[in-house]
Structure 1
Amino acid sequence: MEKERVLFMCIHNAARSQMAEGLFRDLYGDIFDVYSAGSEPHTVDPLAIKCMEDIGIDISHHRSKSLKEFEGQEFDYVVTVCGNPYNACPFFVGGKKYFKQPFEDPSVFEGTEEEKFELFLKIRDELREWLEDLYYSYMIPNDESCNFSGELEGCCGPRDKEFSCR
């Protein structure tokens, strides 16, 4: 069976989308091909690498990629993880389904190195929780089912979007 493809996007592809790519690949890489890109790619932020190492996920080999590298390709899911007051996030043509969830950009935070790292950890944890909810609410493959006991048994099949199986 061919894996579904997921593209995480942000403007710089330096922190949030890189962490999302690493988290999602770690959680669901056996059933999804996972990528990330940005409209104005920068270098992957060292604090993003460090905070992912903190939970055993190595993104040190990641590089920031331009959305142009993926032009003409199709993705089952395109997920935007940036947001700002002007909502100036990139858009990618070629997605079957689109999701957007704004997360604070930890790479622009001004503070001590310790304060910056704490924000990276916070954003990483928020991303992980949201990605798990996204998966269980909207992305469960057709062959997967929920295993509840008691009254909830069988309540949510793989395509029941009214109830998260988590």
Structure 2
Amino acid sequence: MKKIYFLCTGNSCRSQIAEGLAKAILDAKEWEVRSAGIEVHGINPRAVKIMDEINIDISQNQSEMIDMAYLNSADLVITLCGDALANCPVIPKTVEHQHWGLEDPAKARGTEEEIMHKFRETRMEIERLVTSLLA
């Protein structure tokens, strides 16, 4: 079974969305999917809400710090933000690494609808990228 690890700053938004989408899109018999952060910020309620819109429940997920054993045994590590890329522990040369530099929707400003629109855009971009892993 291949292991994929999504890493972000606080494991609260982008990496949680990616984990939820990857678990829904990738074959669970072929992929073990986890996410973590270089810090722990808790799950962003807007991330939970936009995932619920597409019937993916991440409400019980936990914000976690990087597990070095899992990182070192992963087949694919995907960093989702510049902060995680710059501050992530050293990714072993034996582990494939991709960087998906995504803006943090949690930093979006405006009306609630404008902010939620940014979250949905981020979800759609992550969905496109996760789907591309199947190619």
Match of 1:90 among 79, 85, 88: 88
Greater radius of gyration (CA): 1
Residue pairs, 1:29-108, within 5 angstroms = 29-30=27-28, 31-67=30-66, 70-73=67-70, 74-83=73-82, 88=86, 90-94=88-92, 96-108=95-107
TM-score with structure 2 setting the length: 0.88
User: How many angstroms apart in 2 are the aligned matches of 1:91 and 1:21?
Assistant: 20
Shift of 1:83: 3.0
% of aligned pairs identical? Answer: 34
Shift of 1:134: 2.8
Letter in 2 for 1:72: A
Once the two structures are superposed, residues 110-145 of structure 1 have per-residue CA deviations (whole angstroms, 9 ceiling, x without a partner) of 222111111000100011011111331xxxxxxxxx
Unaligned runs of 5+ in 2: none
User: How many angstroms apart in 1 are the aligned matches of 2:89 and 2:129?
Assistant: 20
Secondary structure at the counterpart of residue 37 of structure 1:
strand
**Is 2:128 aligned against 1:129?**
yes
Secondary structure at the counterpart of residue 72 of structure 1:
helix
Q: Give every structure 1 segment of 4 or more consecutive aligned residues whose post-TM-superposition deviation is greater than 4 Å.
A: none
Confirm or deny: 8 A CA contact 1:44 1:64 kept in the other structure. yes
Aligned positions, number: 130
Secondary structure at the counterpart of residue 9 of structure 1:
strand
Q: Which has the higher helix share?
A: 2
Shift of 1:29: 4.1
Shift of 1:89: 5.0
User: How many angstroms apart in 1 are the aligned matches of 2:132 and 2:10?
Assistant: 25
User: How many angstroms apart in 2 are the aligned matches of 1:44 and 1:18?
Assistant: 8
Shift of 1:92: 4.7
Unaligned runs of 5+ in 1: 137-166
Letter in 2 for 1:5: K
Change (3 A) 1:63 1:92: farther
Shift of 1:56: 0.7
